[in-house]
Every structure is written in structure tokens, then in C-alpha cells.
């Protein structure tokens, strides 16, 4: 069901422009920080109140998503009740906070720039900020693999998924999506502390990302020839290797990107000092390096602009 807020298309376009120009300024009070604090506040209290860890984790999921979406909806309704201009500004700011294309580009570019300078220590440190694997001992090829993989994967949950939510339900739905993502990143671990407590959040994150991940893969296939990459190979590798991942979703955009770039992703990663073998994705036709990184960034932006173009076309047709 599509929730219609006033000036939806204008809000989305303004939010995208702000994201492309400013990214996520460190001085800006980002809603995800507030969501994280809410989770931190609720977790110990729910653990004490509810004996079953799975039940407590489910209540955490419902409360976090419900409070986030409810506050966003109330804020928007209140702002629009004052006047359309105030409502528009609040809607744009909330929508802007959900998008991460510029931030993903900026943070990943720190890794690439460090490698270009030959500063492998700085590259490892910068990579550690955007991936979950151990980076302290990674050599240059593995650092390039890590940064290409994270841009490809986060093209879905950091760019296409929140944009799709904005299109379907405005800022409340997009912020609810960000709440699910934040829950998964904070409690969705398969360790002793969170295996049961974080089960609902991890599974719900898989569910809500099922469609966006596959849409991202298709957008990458379509965008690849527009940005100088192979759409045919992106389609072939996505179909062949899209399931070669522990996540039911992350492998789809990674495989599409690997095919478009002609590189191989996946393999061995280390987490907390222990090796984890992952299936490979794609064929090693080209080396992982600066060209591959620049290519996956173009692919991310190409997918974003392609989705926006399709959205505008659909809105235009609906008005005819």
C-alpha cells in the first residue's frame, strides 16, 4: 500500500540532491543514532522482564520499529498541520537521513585513496570502519576485495532499499527500514549473547531485504552498460552465483557487481581471528584494484539514477 504524503516526488528528489551534495554530516543529529540508543535502552529491560530470549527479542523488534515509524509519522503530520512549507522541509530532512549513497562513496574512497598513496595501514583502518571482518593483516588485493564487496552489498541496504521505502511509504516507512537494519547490526549476531535474543531481528532483516536485494541486482544489470560495464555478464553471474553467500540477500548485488566488473569476490575472511570460508562469486577475468572500485561506485550511482528515472516515469504516467 502506498502512503501518500504531500509533494512525495519533490521530497524524494530534494533528499537525493542533499545526499549527493552533503552525505551524512558528522554534525547532523542522525536518526540512526537515536534508534541505536533506543535499542540500548530497551535491551536490558526487556531481558529482565521477559524470561524467553526469543520473545524478548521479538518485543524489541516490534517496539523499536513501531516507535521509530510512529514518531516519524507524528512529526510529519504535525509539521504539515502547521503549513506545507514546514512539512516539506521536515519530510526532506527525514528522507535525506535515510539515504547513504554519498556516505558510502566517501567512506569507501578513504580506503581507495590510502591504497593509492601506498599507505596500507591507513587502508586497513579505513576498511575496518565499513566491514565486519578482521582487517589488521589484509594485503592489498584483499583490501580491494573488501571495499568492492561492501559497496556492492550496501548499494542495496544503504541506497536502493531506503529509496524504495521512501517511494512506497514516505519517511515513516524508510525510517522503519533503517530501524530494522540497525537492529540487525546491533543484535543480529550468531553468538552466545544474541543467537536467541537477536533471532527475530536477523530474520526480519532478511525478509525486508529480500525484494530490495533482487531489485538492486536487476538495476545493476540494467545500469551496467550505461556506465561502461557488462550487463550481459552481470546477469549471467547474478543467476549463477547469487546464492553463493551466507546471507539470502547480500549475494545478489555482489554477484551482479562481480559479473559487471569481471572480477571474483568471496573467499576466505577472518572474524575475531578465525577463518571463515565463503564461496567465490564471479570469475577472475580482471584484477581487483582501482578500476574495479571505480566501476562498482559507478554501478551504485547508475542503479540509483535508474530507479529514480523509472519512478519519475511511473509517476508521470499515473498523472496522465
pLDDT at 191: 85
pLDDT per residue as tens digits for the range 117-144 = 999 999 999 999 999 889 999 999 999 9
The predicted structure's pLDDT at residue 3: 45
pLDDT for the residue numbered 26: 79
pLDDT in tens, 228-238: 999 999 999 99
- The pLDDT value recorded for residue 319 is 66
**Predicted local distance difference test score (pLDDT) of residue 226:** 97
Cβ–Cβ under 8 Å, residues 123 and 143: yes
pTM for the complete prediction? 0.93
Question: Which segments in the chain show pLDDT lower than 70?
Answer: 1-7, 318-320
Q: Could you tell me the CA-to-CA distances from 280 to 169, 263, 295, 297 in Å, in that order?
A: 36, 10, 19, 21
Q: For residues 231, 233, 235 and 236, what is the CA-based torsion angle, rounded to 10 degrees?
A: 160
pLDDT computed for residue 25 by the predictor: 83
pLDDT at 19: 96
The CA–CA distances, whole Å, from 2 to 81, 156, 243, 312 equal 21, 21, 30, 15
Q: Quote the longest CA-to-CA distance of the chain.
A: 59
Amino acid at each position: 500500500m502506498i502512503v501518500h504524503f504531500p509533494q512525495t516526488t519533490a521530497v524524494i528528489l530534494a533528499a537525493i540532491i542533499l545526499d549527493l551534495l552533503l552525505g551524512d554530516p558528522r554534525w547532523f543529529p542522525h536518526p540512526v543514532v537515536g534508534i541505536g540508543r533506543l535499542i540500548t535502552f530497551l535491551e536490558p529491560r526487556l531481558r529482565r522482564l521477559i524470561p524467553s530470549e526469543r520473545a524478548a527479542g521479538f518485543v524489541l523488534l516490534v517496539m523499536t520499529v513501531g516507535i521509530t515509524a510512529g514518531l516519524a509519522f507524528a512529526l510529519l503530520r504535525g509539521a504539515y498541520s502547521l503549513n506545507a512549507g514546514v512539512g516539506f522541509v521536515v519530510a526532506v530532512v527525514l528522507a535525506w537521513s535515510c539515504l547513504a549513497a554519498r556516505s558510502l562513496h566517501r567512506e569507501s574512497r578513504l580506503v581507495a585513496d590510502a591504497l593509492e598513496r601506498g599507505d596500507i595501514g591507513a587502508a586497513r583502518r579505513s576498511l575496518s570502519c565499513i566491514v565486519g571482518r578482521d582487517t589488521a593483516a589484509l594485503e592489498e588485493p584483499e583490501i580491494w576485495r573488501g571495499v568492492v564487496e561492501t559497496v556492492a552489498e550496501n548499494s542495496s541496504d544503504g541506497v536502493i532499499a531506503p529509496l524504495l521505502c521512501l517511494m512506497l511509504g514516505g519517511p515513516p516507512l524508510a525510517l522503519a527500514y533503517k530501524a530494522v537494519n540497525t537492529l540487525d547490526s546491533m543484535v543480529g549476531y550468531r553468538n552466545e549473547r544474541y543467537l536467541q535474543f537477536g533471532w527475530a531481528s536477523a530474520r526480519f532483516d532478511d525478509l525486508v531485504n529480500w525484494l530490495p536485494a533482487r531489485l538492486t541486482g536487476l538495476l545493476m544489470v540494467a545500469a551496467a552498460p550505461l556506465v561502461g560495464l557488462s550487463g550481459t555478464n552481470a546477469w549471467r553471474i547474478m543467476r549463477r552465483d547469487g546464492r553463493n553467500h551466507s546471507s539470502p540477500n547480500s549475494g545478489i548485488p555482489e554477484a551482479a557487481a562481480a559479473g559487471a566488473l569481471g572480477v571474483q569476490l568471496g573467499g576466505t575472511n577472518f572474524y575475531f581471528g578465525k577463518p571463515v570460508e565463503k564461496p567465490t562469486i564471479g570469475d577472475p577475468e580482471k584484477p581487483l584494484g582501482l578500476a574495479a572500485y571505480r566501476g562498482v561506485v559507478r554501478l551504485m550511482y547508475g542503479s540509483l539514477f535508474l530507479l529514480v528515472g523509472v519512478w519519475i516515469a511511473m509517476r508521470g504516467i499515473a498523472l496522465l
